[in-house]
Chain A
Amino acid sequence: MARTSDADLKPPSSQNGLKCDDLRKNSCHSKTEKNGPQTGVGSRQFSHDTFEQPPMYVAVMTYLGYGIVTLFGYLRDVLRAVGLEKCHVAQEREEQKDFTPLYQDFENFYTRNLYMRVRDNWNRPICSLPGPIFDLMERVSDDYNWTFRFTGRTIHNVINMGSYNYLGFAENNEDFLKTVAEKVRQYGAGVCSTRQEIGNLKIHEELEQLVADFIGVESSMIFGMGFATNSMNIPALVGKGCLIVSDELNHTSLILGARLSGATIRVFKHNNMHSLEKLLREAVCSGQPRTHRPWKKILIMVEGIYSMEGSVVRLPEIIALKKKYKAYLYLDEAHSIGAVGPSGRGVTELFNVNPADVDVMMGTFTKSFGAAGGYIAGRKELMEYLRSHSHSAVYASAMSPAITEQVMRAMKCIMGKDGTTEGIRRIRQLAENTRYFRAKLKDMGFIIYGDDDSPVVPVLLYMPGKVVAFAREMLKRKIGVVVVGFPATPITEARARFCLSASHTREMLDKVLQQMNEVGDLLCLKFSRRKRSAFPDACKGENTEADS
């Protein structure tokens, strides 16, 4: 039967500035260091990662749902083969019919029969800024999603709960973008060269210095694509004879980088320190497989916030383990830089950890800074090595100057260097929005995963039919949500993922919550069996503790 989480027994830790008696009780997982004084947005004790399990009937119905769809899939394949149903799938050329087939039939089974029927919920094109409100292009399908056509109409003012716009820097305000426009006028779009040849612009070096200051380390290096930052630098750091210990739910770019490096990869259970310690212990004691030579290096790869779960890494514990076993730590802060921490410095600030303890800090500029690209930051020796040995510096184009300027202005805003308090205001607004939204959703009875501080809120929907119905219903009500299913998530845990932004106003959040309430009742999505307040709308303010 489903486990009830600790949340029923202990109230969640309160993150607002109010001193709460619960904080003393809440030392359950805390092996963390003493926290600093309580700031406005809360320094933390170890969080509650809640992963509530649904009732059993939900799992059964989910499997049943997938089973039925698969059966129908086989039926349709048969009909298509026989010729009773028109085959919309693109075909190989006549001249190449006797070549080895490019795709195996069963590889595409899922795409043909399941994904095609519901694919109107993804790749929705927009025709405006990806801010808190955007405009979607209306697209319809006459043949059950095999082809789409645009009606030419636009769906205006849809609330955007899907874009990674944590601090609201996706904006087109002329004043804010003045410097970026200047750079476009001066430099143009591209750079036409690599960093090591003649593409190293002065503006790149300025940004690198700024990033290093922002994070609080000695030096940093920037790259043109966030995905490529991982896949091109991990092979430069580790190679054959090294061990990579990576979290179960790491992003594809980390996994690709690890594979390309040629090192041995071992996986530990998500955020589970026992599993990690066991693995490290065994690795150091037994050495490389078969030969038992000692490992050259051990690199632990984790993320700051996991984008599908919304959970935050247990950084202090990992640092303790890393020091004990002399491993190196690679922290990917794609979602957490700028979005968590009292001044937006990421998980190191959230846990009050010295950034020098993390050997390699990596992050992207796509999410909180509204630009594109990635960075790696750390000690000077590391950066010098990467400057000469990174695949990106030698073979890939440098970052576009206008994008570089956008990152600089966003970072200066967050740091307060532009002379305003806009940055801190946005960070506080994001934290407030996060707390409010999560608390309200929990109150309504939805099962949500992840840490209370993380602006990524996955709402579990489980059944494939409900996932699709949810996305379509919300679009009808002019709210754009992101739904994810298999294979990005485990097969029984399909979910809708909300990404909160500092530019969401209270009215927008209230509207979304109200519609969620309606849709949740309509589609029976409120699976949580936690006690919740009978009057969710009456609960105002931050302290929405459970009634237990």
Chain B
Amino acid sequence: MASGQQWVLVEMVQAFYEAPAYHLILEGILILWIIRLLFSKTYKLHETYKLTEREKEDLIEEWQPDLLVPLISKDHPSLKYNIVSGPPSHKIIVNGKECINFASFNFLGLLDNERVKEKALMSLKKYGVGTCGPRGFYGTFDVHLELENRLAKFMKTEEAIIYSYGFATMASAIPAYSKRGDMIFVDEAACFSIQKGLQASRSFIKYFKHNDMEDLERLLKEQELEDQKNPRKARVTRKFIVVEGMYINTADICPLPELVKLKYRYKVRIFLEESMSFGVLGEHGKGVTEHFGVNIDDIDLISANMENAVASIGGFCCGRSFVIDHQRLSGQGYCFSASLPPMLAAAAIEALNIMEEDPGIFIVLREKCKHVYKALQGIPGLKLVGEPFAPALHLQLEKSSGSRSSDMQLLRSIVDYCLERKVALTLAQYLEKEERFLTPPSIRVVVTVKQKDDDIQKAVSCIREAASVLLK
């Protein structure tokens, strides 16, 4: 060992003698430079403006934050909630007056159905109220599994997944699949739940004009050109189209067959939000896919809430197992939230039973929608927005005054007038600062199967009267 070391030392000394002079001088200078750097004072970039303790105390003293919430004036219109005493069924007591309900999304009248209530009571007797846990930790009840099976069977898909709140359904589904770097094409009139899902997903969002397939195709073509420039990136960028079956903001339907064609041409997946069309459109109430006769497997994900036609609480997504199963581990509203209370799930199952037993109610609903649509035509000063078979129509001002707040005030006065005369209507509510594309202010007119002809007659004449009195 020692001899080896000695031998290396000898070699080193020899090399030292054999090296040329400039080499040694250069090495010497470098070594001196290194020593200098090691011992010189370190120079931190922030040294120049490091604050002294005194300055920090002063800054802390001086800083005045904004108020936690800005003060709201007492007359802010959104502060005056209508108080409903008693159930919001066909006859609803609003602010003390019994009115005919044209404002709740109780399309099939299942809110006060006796069978549904019986089943909910039976479930209450067995399971109590809450589930006390998320689905992963003993919050999965046999009722939930049954509801998921029934929904999957009803929609003729492989699998369904339930959420405990309608809003959270689409808002959790979109970010589960679409991540940063992916591309989503969405309609401008998409509802707020979709907008929150898009925001949470952090993907690139491209809006196309409402129901304008040409605009969508143009965007898709542009994206295709981009992809050709960068094929490697394109191979891992997922692309989605998010549309609603029946739009809540404009009461019309999306052109689903064209969308499916675009899907296959440009290789984009379709997510369909069917909160307003589930239990409304189609021969058996299966929604817009049945309405158009589109193969349900062509739609990657259908999401709907059970708070409209099904008159319960919660939401569901259905589709192929390949797609839906992923949400069981990555849907935030599913994994990190308590599951749906069993009595609400039981109510939903019974509602599904009723829907399956009697597809005639959908025909009745459609007839009533057509009736209301025709009756509300031609009111001077108001225009009706929506399809003839849409159950939730919008009445907008024919000529806007230019300012949104005065339009809202006018419409509110019409609503108040009708409330006085025992017809319950409501203004469509939006968060003006948060919406990306704000729809013009409107009154929501909701059609349910429980409304009789003379109820509709009364409501229409009331609105007509209000319009003629208040809109000059």
Contact surface of A with B, Cβ cutoff 8 Å: 90-93, 95-96, 98-104, 111, 115, 122-131, 134, 137, 160, 162-165, 169-172, 174, 177, 180-181, 184-202, 205, 224-228, 231-232, 235, 237, 251-253, 256, 259-260, 281, 284-285, 294-298, 324-328, 359-360, 364-367, 369-372, 381-382, 384-389, 391-397, 400-403, 406, 480, 482
1/0 contact trace for B229-251 toward A, CB 8 Å? 00000111111000000000000
Question: In the assembly, what is the distance between CA of A111 and CA of B328, in Å?
Answer: 11
A-B contact pairs, 21 of them (CB 8 A): A98-B267, A100-B239, A162-B137, A177-B128, A187-B87, A188-B113, A190-B306, A191-B104, A197-B427, A199-B88, A200-B83, A251-B336, A253-B337, A260-B196, A284-B60, A297-B65, A391-B431, A391-B434, A392-B167, A395-B167, A482-B138
- Nearest residue in A to B350 (C-beta to C-beta)? A189
Whether A188 contacts B140 by the Cβ 8 Å rule is no
Interface pair B94/A198, CB less than 8 Å apart: yes
B307 CB–A CB distance under 8 Å: yes
**Interface contact A198-B121, CB-CB below 8 Å:** no
Which of A92, A125, A181, A200 has a CB less than 8 Å from the CB of B141?
A: A125
Task: Say yes or no: A137 contacts B431, CB within 8 Å.
Answer: no
**Contact residues in A for B89 (Cβ distance below 8 Å):** 188
Q: Are A326 and B63 in contact (CB under 8 A)?
A: yes
Q: Considering the chains assembled together, what is the distance between the CA atoms of A498 and B94 in angstroms?
A: 46
**Chain B residues within an 8 Å CB radius of A169:** 129-130
Chain A residues contacting B130 (CB-CB under 8 Å) are: 130, 169-170, 365-366, 369-372, 403, 406
Check: B341 CB closer than 8 A to any chain A CB: yes
Stretch touching chain A among B319-327, B360-368, B381-389: B319-327
Binary per-residue interface labels of chain B (280-315) against chain A in the complex, 1 for a CB within 8 Å, 0 otherwise:
000000000000000001000000011110111100
CB-CB < 8 A to B424: which residues of A? 198
Stretch at the interface among B36-44, B68-76, B207-215, B458-466: B68-76
| Closest chain A CB from B34 CB (angstroms) | 35
| Distance of A218 Cα from B85 Cα, bound (Å) | 24
Contact A190 B322, beta carbon cutoff 8 Å: no
Most buried by A among B84, B177, B264: B84
Question: Shortest beta-carbon distance, A184 to chain B, in Å?
Answer: 5
Q: Is B333's CB within 8 Å of the partner chain A?
A: yes
Which of chain B's residues have a CB closer than 8 A to the CB of A397? 165-167, 305, 307, 313
Residue of A nearest to B326 (CB): A103
Task: Decide: A189 near B344, CB < 8 A? Known: A198-B103, A198-B104, A382-B68.
Answer: yes
Please measure, in the bound complex, the distance between the C-alpha atom of A165 and the C-alpha atom of B127, giving whole angstroms. 13
What residue of chain B has the Cβ atom nearest to residue A129's Cβ? B128
Cα–Cα, bound, A389→B103 (Å): 21
CB–CB A237/B311 < 8 A: no
B311 engages A125 (CB within 8 Å): no
Cross-chain contact B65 with A198 (CB below 8 angstroms):
no
Q: Please report the C-alpha to C-alpha distance between residue A372 and residue B335 in the assembled complex, in whole angstroms.
A: 15
Cβ contact within 8 Å between B237 and A370: no
Query: Is B120 in contact with chain A by the CB < 8 A criterion?
Result: yes
B321–A90 CB distance below 8 A: yes
Are B341 and A403 within 8 A (Cβ)? Answer: yes
- Name, among A192, A252, A402, the residue most crowded by chain B CB atoms within 10 Å (CB to CB): A192
Q: Which single member of A111, A192, A365 contacts B308 (CB below 8 Å)?
A: A192
Q: Does B154 contact A (CB under 8 A)?
A: no
Q: Distance in Å from the Cβ of B31 to the closest Cβ of chain A?
A: 41
Nearest CB of B to A323, in Å: 12
Residues of A within 8 A of B323 (CB): 102
B307 touches A192 (CB 8 A): yes
Min Cβ gap A242→B in Å is 8
| Chain A residues within 8 Å of B127, by CB | 128-130, 172
- Which residues of chain B are within 8 angstroms of A187 by Cβ–Cβ distance? 86-88
- Verify B87–A186 contact, CB threshold 8 A: yes
A contact residues around B125 at 8 Å (CB): 172, 174, 177, 181
Residues of B within 8 A of A285 (CB): 51, 55-56, 59-60
Say yes or no for B111: interface residue by CB 8 A criterion. Answer: yes
Are B88 and A371 neighbours in the complex by a CB distance under 8 Å? Answer: no
Given contacts A123-B136, A186-B86, A227-B165, 7 further A-B contacts (CB under 8 A): A128-B126, A180-B124, A184-B343, A198-B82, A227-B333, A253-B337, A371-B130
Q: A382 — nearest CB in chain B belongs to which residue? A: B69
Cβ-defined contact, B140 with A125, below 8 A: yes
Cα(A252)–Cα(B172), bound, Å: 12
Q: How far is the CB of A252 from chain B (nearest CB, A)?
A: 4
Does B132 belong to the interface (CB within 8 Å)?
A: yes
Which residues in A have their C-beta under 8 angstroms from that of B234? 100
Chain B positions within 8 Å of A198 at CB level: 82, 84, 88, 92, 94, 101, 103-104, 424, 426
